[in-house]
Chains A and B, each alone.
Chain A
Amino acid sequence: MSSKTILYVEDNELNRRIVRDLLKRTSYRLLEAPDGETSLDIVRRERPDLILMDIQLPRLSGIEVTRTLRSEAITANTPIIAITSFALSGDEQRAKEAGATAYMTKPYSPRDLLALIRSLLPESE
């Protein structure tokens, strides 16, 4: 049984650790990227099954990375969960337009996030 791979793109170490701790007890394999450019390298190399994409990233924004991923054949259908900071700023709308599958508003409940991940990517068959 091969475990499914999740890539978390987030520049804040603390937030990355939340997801890291959250997924520790699951069968998911977690990859982390601190910025957009790194995430694109990892995606091409590792081909993750699901991507958690923070929208507020230094330099290349999560919106742009999402758009790029959607334009590439290997990630055209990969589920992408956008994590937005501004609950009411229209970021979700932009994320959806860029091709995100779902979104979570920061601060999110780890419990809810795990439930969302499981609904999009069942842990194992």
Chain B
Amino acid sequence: MTEPRWRTWFPGFSSFRARVFWSVVPVVVSFLVFQGWMNVREHRRLVTKEFEKRGLALASNLSFASELGVFSEDARLLEAAMRGTLRNPDVSYVLIHSRAGRVLARGGQSGTSGTPPGDAQGDRPSARQVERGGQRFLEFVSPIVSEGSQTPDEVLLGARVRPKGEEAREEVIGAATVGLSLAGVEAQVRSLATLWGGITAAFLIVSAAVLYGFSLGITKPIKQLTQQAQKIAAGGLQQQIAVQSRDEIGSLAAAFNHMTGSLRVSMNEKERALSELAELNRTLEDRIRQRTVELEEKSRQLAAASRHKSDFLANVSHELRTPMNAILGFNEMILDQVYGDISDELRRPLSDIQQSGRHLLRLISDVLDLSKIEAGRMDLVLGEYSVLDTVTAVRVSLASLAAEKGLEFVVSTPAEMPLAYGDGRRVTQCLLNLAGNALKFTRQGRVEIAVDLLNEMLRFRVSDTGIGISREQIDKLFTEFQQADATIAREFGGTGLGLSITRKFVEMHEGRVWAESEIGKGSTFFFSIPLHVKGPMTA
């Protein structure tokens, strides 16, 4: 979660405590300020009203007291009248004007050159605020009224001698002005405001302290929890939080302790399992290493044995061929009458020796080939070869056998064929095996070798008019040492290895070999291989 922008600007707002504080304090403060302002305002209104009442009363009293003084324009009388008024501490100055506006007497604060009350000339007292010499005053003007044509006697006697029912004649003869200083009022208001300010501040401090304490009670355990969680995250699972409160925070802390305990247990289990695993791993590695060493040794021994076997086979091959060469060579030369004429009786057994010798030789080659294949040491010798040359070589080497048996031996190939890529010698051997078998198992009729190229695949075909093979026997044909019938082997000879070897070589060329046959009508053997073999193949 990302912090809102305002929190980064006011970091003080991000803690829980600060949020509590700042959400409560402004409300309290604004309430106190508002309340204070209202109080001061009301108080000021009341005080001012009281002040006005008093001022008016003073002015009214003065005007009454100075009626005679004004009437007689006697300064002493007026001063006596003013004296009582000036005794009042709130009164700053007193002025008495004649009707014409002339000041008849003044008293109180010096320097107050009173102006004649303009519109206060009415017969009712009035109040106004004035400013004199930088000071503010509340000024009350009361008209001085004379009760008509009073005679000095009447005034002196103070008795009403006028007959009842006669309307008194009233006449304004001057004005009495009383100036009350507002300083008192203002000081009172100010002190009240100060008092309220003090109360507000005190309230604020107290409430802040209470809030702080309260929030501290909440945030302290939270802070502890946080630190605890950080320690646990750092791996210190031994930590326990002291649970002090019984509230939600307390139960949270208790739950936290419980969780830590569970974690500690599972961590211990995990560590134990890990150490067991590590131990197991180590012993396993040791065992694997030991077994690998053993296997490597075995592998070395096997490789050496295989090499020895291969060398042995190569030697056997060579050693067998040398005497075979002598036997066949000398015998052939005898037959060719290199050593002189031979009788017809002798020619027959000598020919048998020659044929048996060749057969033996082929058996030896087949066995050696197959053992090489089985040992996985048979490699194709890849190169370009001519398919037509291959077919020709097979025809040439089998022509005499076909002629001897009086069989028609036909080769049909396209006039031209591209060079193929593979092991030409092995391909020749395969074709030789199939064609040799065909000639072997055919008493009369014909044997045909054909080859064609279809979709980059070479297909060789050898068909005969021989004894044929049953379907069940065909399936076994290409397995080692299997001939279609044991009695056939006796009649026709052969090791039964030729087809197995052919199959292996064809498969090494990524091709396949198959046969179609019908008992008594002859067989057709096929094998197809790619015109171009991809890579070196091992049996």
Taking beta carbons and an 8 Å cutoff, which residues of A are in contact with B? 12, 14-15, 18, 21-22, 24-25, 56, 85-90, 93, 106-111
Contact present for B329 and A86 (CB under 8 Å):
no
A110 to B354, CA, bound (A): 13
A56 to chain B, nearest CB (A): 6
Contact present for A86 and B317 (CB under 8 Å):
yes
Q: B317 — nearest CB in chain A belongs to which residue?
A: A86
By a CB distance below 8 angstroms, the chain A residues around B317 are 85-86
Contact present for A88 and B429 (CB under 8 Å):
yes
For this complex, 30 residue pairs linking A to B, each with C-beta atoms less than 8 Å apart, are: A14-B323, A14-B326, A15-B322, A15-B325, A15-B326, A18-B325, A18-B333, A21-B333, A21-B338, A22-B338, A85-B317, A85-B321, A86-B314, A88-B365, A88-B369, A89-B314, A106-B321, A106-B325, A107-B324, A107-B325, A107-B328, A107-B329, A107-B361, A108-B325, A108-B329, A109-B328, A109-B329, A110-B332, A110-B333, A110-B336
By a CB distance below 8 angstroms, the chain A residues around B361 are 107
Contact present for A107 and B330 (CB under 8 Å):
no
DSSP majority for the A interface? Answer: loop
**Band of interface residues on B:** 20 to 34
By a CB distance below 8 angstroms, the chain A residues around B339 are 21
At the interface, yes or no: B425 with Cβ under 8 Å from chain A?
A: yes
By a CB distance below 8 angstroms, the chain B residues around A110 are 329, 332-333, 336, 338
Fill in one digit per residue for B184-215: 1 if any A CB lies within 8 Å of its CB, else 0: 00000000000000000000000000000000
B73 to chain A, nearest CB (A): 166
At the interface, yes or no: B318 with Cβ under 8 Å from chain A?
A: yes
Taking beta carbons and an 8 Å cutoff, which residues of B are in contact with A? 314, 317-318, 321-326, 328-330, 332-333, 336, 338-339, 361, 365, 369, 381, 383, 425-426, 429
Contact present for A15 and B381 (CB under 8 Å):
no
Contact present for A25 and B338 (CB under 8 Å):
yes
By a CB distance below 8 angstroms, the chain A residues around B318 are 56, 85-86
By a CB distance below 8 angstroms, the chain B residues around A24 are 338
By a CB distance below 8 angstroms, the chain A residues around B322 are 12, 14-15, 85, 106
By a CB distance below 8 angstroms, the chain B residues around A18 are 325-326, 329-330, 333
If A18-B326, A106-B325, A108-B325 touch, does A90 touch B338 (CB 8 Å cutoff)?
A: no
A30 to chain B, nearest CB (A): 14
A21 to B328, CA, bound (A): 14
Q: B425 — nearest CB in chain A belongs to which residue?
A: A88
Q: B423 — nearest CB in chain A belongs to which residue?
A: A88
The 4 A-B residue pairs with the shortest CB-CB distance, nearest first, are A107-B325, A18-B329, A14-B326, A107-B324
A11 to B321, CA, bound (A): 14
A95 to chain B, nearest CB (A): 13
Contact present for B314 and A109 (CB under 8 Å):
no
A125 to B379, CA, bound (A): 46
By a CB distance below 8 angstroms, the chain A residues around B314 are 86, 89
**Which one of A21, A22, A25, A93 contacts B381 once the chains associate, using CB atoms below 8 Å?**
A93
Contact present for B381 and A90 (CB under 8 Å):
yes
By a CB distance below 8 angstroms, the chain B residues around A90 are 381
Contact present for A15 and B365 (CB under 8 Å):
no
Q: A12 — nearest CB in chain B belongs to which residue?
A: B322
By a CB distance below 8 angstroms, the chain B residues around A14 are 322-323, 326
B316 to chain A, nearest CB (A): 11
B312 to chain A, nearest CB (A): 14
A24 to B337, CA, bound (A): 12
A14 to B332, CA, bound (A): 14
By a CB distance below 8 angstroms, the chain A residues around B426 are 88
A21 to B322, CA, bound (A): 17
A85 to chain B, nearest CB (A): 5
By a CB distance below 8 angstroms, the chain A residues around B324 are 107
By a CB distance below 8 angstroms, the chain B residues around A85 are 317-318, 321-322
Contact present for A111 and B321 (CB under 8 Å):
no
B229 to chain A, nearest CB (A): 77
Q: B331 — nearest CB in chain A belongs to which residue?
A: A110
By a CB distance below 8 angstroms, the chain A residues around B338 are 21-22, 24-25, 110
By a CB distance below 8 angstroms, the chain A residues around B369 are 88
Q: B369 — nearest CB in chain A belongs to which residue?
A: A88
**Which one of B330, B332, B381, B425 contacts A111 once the chains associate, using CB atoms below 8 Å?**
B332
Could you say which of B329, B330, B336, B425 has the most chain A C-beta atoms within 10 Å of its C-beta?
B329
A116 to B318, CA, bound (A): 23
By a CB distance below 8 angstroms, the chain B residues around A89 are 314
By a CB distance below 8 angstroms, the chain A residues around B328 are 107, 109
By a CB distance below 8 angstroms, the chain B residues around A22 are 333, 338
A22 to B323, CA, bound (A): 17
A7 to chain B, nearest CB (A): 19
